A and B are shown apart, each in its own frame.
Chain A
Amino acid sequence: MSPDDLVAAVIAIESGVAKKDLCDRLAVNVLPETLLKFMQRLHDDPQLAFDMLYTHTAVDYPVENRIELIYQLYSVKQRHYLMVATSVKRDKPEISSVSSIWRIAEWHEREVYDLFGVLYDGHPDLRRLFLDDDWKGFPLRKDYKDDFMLERPE
Chain B
Amino acid sequence: MSIRVTTLDEKIHEIPTNESPMASQEYFVNMGPQHPSTHGVLRLVLKMDGETVREILPVLGYIHRGIEKKGEHIGYRQFVHLTDRLDYLSALANNWAVSMVVEKAMNIELNDRIQTIRTIMAELQRIQSHQLWWGVFGMDLGAFTPFLYGFRDREKITTILEETIGARLTMNYIQPGGLMFDIQPDFAKKVKEFISYFKPKLEEYETLVSNNVIFEQRMKNVGILDAATAVSIGTTGPVLRASGVAHDLRKDEPYGVYGKVQFKVAVGSVGDSWDRYRVRIEEMRQSIQIVEQLIDNIPEGKTLVMKPAIKIKLPAGNYYSHIETARGIFGVFVVADGTDRPYRIHLRTPNFNNLWAVTVTAPGWRLADLVTILSSLDIVVPDIDR
Contacts and interface: CB of A to CB of B under 8 A. Distances in A.
Co-assembled chains A and B: yes
Contacts of A139: 66, 69
A103 B234 CA distance: 8
Contact of A103 (B73, B104, B233, B348): B233
Size band of the interface chain A makes with B: 35 or more
Q: From DSSP, what is the main secondary structure of chain B's interface residues?
A: mixed
Residues of B in contact with A, size category: 35 or more
B31 interface: no
A102 B11 contact: no
Given A24-B318, A76-B247, A130-B60, A70 B333 contact: yes
A24 B346 CA distance: 15
Contact of A59 (B4, B343, B360): B343
B245 A123 contact: no
Contacts of B234: 52-55, 102, 104
A25 B320 contact: yes
B29 interface: no
B344 interface: yes
B3 interface: yes
A119 B1 CA distance: 11
Question: For A125, A130, A133, which residue has the most chain B Cβ atoms within 10 angstroms?
Answer: A130
A33 to B, nearest CB: 12
B272 interface: no
Nearest to A96: B1
Interface in A122-154: 123, 125-133, 139-140, 152
Contacts of A53: 234
B190 to A, nearest CB: 37
Contacts, number: 107
B305 interface: no
A102 B1 contact: no
Interface string B246-261: 0100001000000000
Given A130-B60, A130-B61, A76 B331 contact: no
A101 to B, nearest CB: 8
A127 to B, nearest CB: 5
Interface in B227-279: 229, 231-234, 245, 247, 252
Contacts of B4: 126
B297 interface: no
A38 B283 CA distance: 38
Nearest to B316: A22
Contact of B232 (A83, A103, A128): A103
B66 A57 contact: no
Contacts of B149: none
B352 interface: yes
Contacts of B3: 94, 119-121, 123, 126
Interface in A41-63: 51-55, 57, 59-60
Contact of A140 (B9, B68, B245, B320): B68
Contacts of B229: 103
Nearest to B57: A125
A83 to B, nearest CB: 7
A50 to B, nearest CB: 10
Contacts of B1: 94, 121
B348 A55 contact: yes
Given A24-B105, A107-B356, A133 B8 contact: yes
Nearest to A68: B335
Contacts of B348: 54-55, 72
A24 B247 CA distance: 22
A131 to B, nearest CB: 6
Contacts of A103: 229, 232-233, 356, 360
B354 to A, nearest CB: 10
A130 B60 CA distance: 5
A103 to B, nearest CB: 5
B2 to A, nearest CB: 9
Nearest to B360: A103
Contacts of A121: 1, 3
Interface of A: 20, 22-25, 27, 51-55, 57, 59-60, 70, 72, 76, 79, 83, 94, 102-104, 107, 113, 115, 119-121, 123, 125-133, 139-140, 152
6 contacts: A24-B318, A59-B343, A72-B331, A104-B356, A126-B4, A133-B9
